[in-house]
Amino acid sequence: MITGNDLSDLELLKQYRVGGDTSALGILLQRYTLLLLGVAMKYLKDKDEAQDAVQQVFEKAIRNLPTGAIQNFKGWLYVLMRNHCYQLLRDKQYSADPELLNNMKGEGTDLEALWWKDRAIEDVQTALLQLEEAQRITIAMFYLEDKSYKEIMEATGYSFSQVKSYIQNGKRNLKLILTRNGNG
């Protein structure tokens, strides 16, 4: 039985490819759900659209998993999510009212600033994955899913003081991780 926590991304990927073990791929995708949701929220700015996009990327990942070696599954999945969001935004733009598009003013984009912003978000998402599970879950629910303390308590079974503590300690630990990695 696979637990997932004791296997690396490459080991899970190999287990899926060699033995056809779909639970290994499921564990691998579940491992990066928060990362994907964060990326989708960054680009789409809508919780429901972001959640739908994550599901669509899971399906894309299963259908389009490269047959060659993937050295960095997390990076591959991140790029797949980012490109999917870009496509959704392009599709939304082209389906907008043509009159509205004619009246829109162009915005200047500073590509370097966008790159740094992407990098900062990646750093936070990587740091988030380093937190203990309770902190990671409560922070994701509170900040990424916009849930209240009460909703988090109902979903997790944690007490009010536990939720408050996990969020406060998680924020502090995120800051420490980012500072330690030179990103804070």
Domains identified in the chain and CATH numbers = 107-184 (1.10.10.10)
Low-confidence residues of the chain: pLDDT under 70: 1-5, 93-119, 182-184
Task: Answer for the pair 80, 32: CB distance below 8 angstroms, yes or no.
Answer: no
The pLDDT of residue 169: 92
Q: pTM of the prediction?
A: 0.51
The pLDDT of residue 93: 67
Q: Nearest 5°: CA angle at 151, between 148 and 153?
A: 110
The pLDDT of residue 41: 92
* Interatomic CA distance for residues 78 and 142, integer angstroms: 22
Positive/negative CA dihedral, 180, 168, 37, 66: positive
Positive/negative CA dihedral, 36, 41, 44, 46: positive
The pLDDT of residue 49: 92
The pLDDT of residue 106: 47
